Amino acid sequence: MQAGTKSWKAFFFGSIDSSNFITVDKPPAALWVMAISGRLFGFSSASMLVPQVMEGVLAVGLLAASVKRWFGAGAGLLAGGVLAATPVAALMFRFNNPDALLVCLLVASAYCLVRALERASTRWMLAVGTLLGFAFLTKMMQAFLVVPGFAVVYLHAAPTSLRRRTTQLLAGGAAMILSAGWWVAIVALWPATSRPMIDGSSDNSIINLIIGYNGLGRITGSGGGGGGAGGGFSGQIGVLRLFNDLMGGQASWLLPGALVVLAVGLAWRLRAARTDRIRAALVLWGSWLLVSGLVFSLSSGVIHTYYTVALAPPVAALVAVGATLLWRRRERMTARALLAFGVLITAGWSIVLLGRTPSWEPWLIPLVALTGVLSALAWLTPRRLRHRLTRTATVLALVSCLAGPLAFSAQTVGSVHAGSVPSAGPATSAAGGPGGGGQPGGSRGAGPSASGGGAPGAGTTTSEELTTLLKKNASRYRWVAATSGSQNAASLELATGGVPVMGIGGFNNQGGDLTLAQFEAYVRAADIHYYIVAGASTGMAAGPGGGSTISAITNWVKAHYGAETVGGQTVYNLTDPLQS
């Protein structure tokens, strides 16, 4: 973001540095929003994070509006409230990552789809496609996980002829391709020698980034998106991954209830009219939940726990739809029994999640258990007592089902989060990334936030001595320094007010295609002033393995330039070679 406030070229490509050495490993739409804010109000934490908050608020409002159109104001209010209460939403709607904008755009596209389904509107279908295209420019292939379900529900349920439905669907698809493809086409056609390297790609191409690192690599674990055996940051691969110690507390609090609503609702409306709105809503939100949830659960590549924020809107919508439909039929014993069952399974799962942090707010477990049981009993009371106890049952149900996620969200909002693998809620025994570690909430280490999926540690605080050295005569050089990894470079840039630093290897120290010969050419041209060695002895993150290019460059620098220690870090002046 900071680079985008200083260079329009860095803004367009999403470069880490204003001299455009390498991009982030994601498309730049989320950075565009923050950089525009930074240009308008100056670069600061507020100008970076307020847009995230606004995107979250907009997502909550649009979800409420989407559900309200077909199921009433109460349902919309409940859907928006559940989304806002989800711990991972409380985290990501105030964090420097693309996910807030992604969720906002996906919910906005779902709202437009609801509008399109009402009157078979071509205009609204074009809006759906356009928003999904911009969602792609936010987080690439993850945005398209909703596309199959959206296409199916419109093709089946729109109130018009099959031919017109097909034509409108194709028009929406064309809008999506144009909305996503214009930036991709420009980057692909731009001469590689005059643009920044594409981080995350194996051949410095945007197509490779789309298909590999941010596409199939996330699913198969190849193409630079691998997370290692067992799924790395999100636990064991399998259909129960969303419920494990690492991911469960993020967005799964009401997931069992949402799945029950989906199954029971589809069975109930199986033989309804083709254009039935209840079934259409269930398919719309249910397909989003199932496809995204299965991809997150079964992928072998990097899947961070905070990715589950994309599941929060469909979970909230399904819970609101189910609760509203049952409330309207509350005089029937079947509906009351289903309400009681939903409260009990949600309370039971909340108790399991709270039990994973037994020393944190232990009073929550008996509260959830007691209110859940009392609510279920109230729903199941004889007919003569129902009217008197219905409101009581409702209040108890809300307390039982929402106390856990609200408490986790409050803890999340009250904690400082940094680094590239944030997690909501208090620490569990499995938190902290691969191999455990038990950091509070999974990751609250120091350093700048960065998008993407790798495992290098975040950069650390830069000393005042080193900051002063780098800022002196910085304008004479294209890059005031070079170091390994974008996160280390970002730390130095933040400390120096945005002076460009070359982050060799990108986010995971393996991105781009810089060679030793190219680095030598930069040094001969006096483009780089200093080389800063990252590693345990310096306090900077060396990253996993370091990368062969980084090792070769470091060895070459050590052989030709003298080292000095500045602020505890090893620095080489690349304008002052050793005398042979």
pLDDT band at 230 (very low <50, low <70, confident <90, very high): very low
Choose the final residue of a domain: 288, 312, 328.
Answer: 328
Contacts of 275 (CB under 8 A, 6+ apart): 157, 158, 159
Q: Are residues 315 and 462 in the same domain?
A: no
Greatest distance between any 2 Cα atoms in the chain: 99
Lowest mean pLDDT among 339-353, 390-404, 454-468, 499-513: 454-468
pLDDT band at 512 (very low <50, low <70, confident <90, very high): confident
Element (H, E) at 142: none
> Helices 29-41 and 122-139, interaxial angle, to 10°?
80
In a domain, 245, yes or no: yes
CB atoms < 10 A from the CB of 211, how many?
16
Contacts of 368 (CB under 8 A, 6+ apart): 347, 350, 351, 354, 399, 400, 403, 404
What confidence score (pLDDT) does residue 429 get? 60
What confidence score (pLDDT) does residue 427 get? 82
pLDDT band at 389 (very low <50, low <70, confident <90, very high): confident
Lowest mean pLDDT among 120-134, 222-236, 455-469, 532-546: 532-546
Which residue, among 13, 8, 1, has the nearest Cα to 191 in the 3D structure?
Answer: 13
- Total structural domains in the chain? 2
Distance between CA atoms of residues 94 and 105, nearest Å: 16
Mean pLDDT on 257-272: 96
Mean pLDDT on 566-578: 93
What confidence score (pLDDT) does residue 396 get? 97
What confidence score (pLDDT) does residue 509 get? 76
In a domain, 341, yes or no: no
In a domain, 348, yes or no: no
pLDDT band at 89 (very low <50, low <70, confident <90, very high): very high
Choose the final residue of a domain: 278, 303, 328.
Answer: 328
Render 280-340 in DSSP notation, one character per residue. HHHHHHHHHHHHHHHHHHH--B---GGGGGGGHHHHHHHHHHHHHHHHHTTTSHHHHHHHH
pLDDT surpasses 90 at 234: no
Distance between CA atoms of residues 392 and 49, nearest Å: 40
Q: Are residues 460 and 323 in the same domain?
A: no
In a domain, 319, yes or no: yes
In a domain, 416, yes or no: no
pLDDT band at 545 (very low <50, low <70, confident <90, very high): very low
pLDDT surpasses 90 at 483: yes
C-alpha distances out from residue 356 to 233, 353, 367, 434, Å? 18, 5, 16, 18
Render 379-446 in DSSP notation, one character per residue. HTS-HHHHHHHHHHHHHHHHHHHHHHHHHHHHHHHTS---SSS---SS--TT-SSTT----TTS---S
pLDDT tens-digit map of 453-471: 333 334 467 899 999 999 9
Contact in structure between 474 and 530 (CB atoms under 8 Å):
no
What is the extent of the structural domain holding 568? 456-577
CB atoms < 10 A from the CB of 363, how many?
10
What confidence score (pLDDT) does residue 421 get? 86
In a domain, 387, yes or no: no
pLDDT surpasses 70 at 492: yes
pLDDT band at 579 (very low <50, low <70, confident <90, very high): confident
> Helices 277-298 and 99-119, interaxial angle, to 10°?
150
What confidence score (pLDDT) does residue 430 get? 53
Which residue, among 508, 494, 412, has the nearest Cα to 453 in the 3D structure?
Answer: 508
What confidence score (pLDDT) does residue 419 get? 77
Share of the chain above pLDDT 70, in %: 90
- Tell me the three state secondary structure of residue 532: strand
The rounded mean pLDDT for the chain is 90
Indicate the pTM of the whole model: 0.92
Structure tokens at 430: 């499995």
What confidence score (pLDDT) does residue 542 get? 47
Lowest mean pLDDT among 62-66, 453-457, 533-537: 453-457
Structure tokens at 344: 């009990």
Share of the chain above pLDDT 90, in %: 80
Polymer length of the chain? 580
pLDDT surpasses 70 at 433: no
Mean pLDDT on 249-257: 97
pLDDT surpasses 60 at 224: no
What confidence score (pLDDT) does residue 131 get? 99
Mean pLDDT on 267-287: 97
Angle CA(224)–CA(226)–CA(228) in degrees, nearest 5? 145
What is the side-by-side strand order in the sheet with 479-484?
A: 501-504, 479-484, 528-532, 569-577, 561-566
Which residue, among 110, 346, 93, 353, has the nearest Cα to 249 in the 3D structure?
Answer: 353
What confidence score (pLDDT) does residue 449 get? 39
Lowest mean pLDDT among 247-261, 329-343, 538-552: 538-552
Choose the final residue of a domain: 328, 348, 375.
Answer: 328
pLDDT band at 222 (very low <50, low <70, confident <90, very high): confident
C-alpha distances out from residue 69 to 76, 119, 330, Å? 8, 13, 21
pLDDT band at 235 (very low <50, low <70, confident <90, very high): confident
pLDDT surpasses 70 at 534: yes
Residue type, position 198, single letter: I
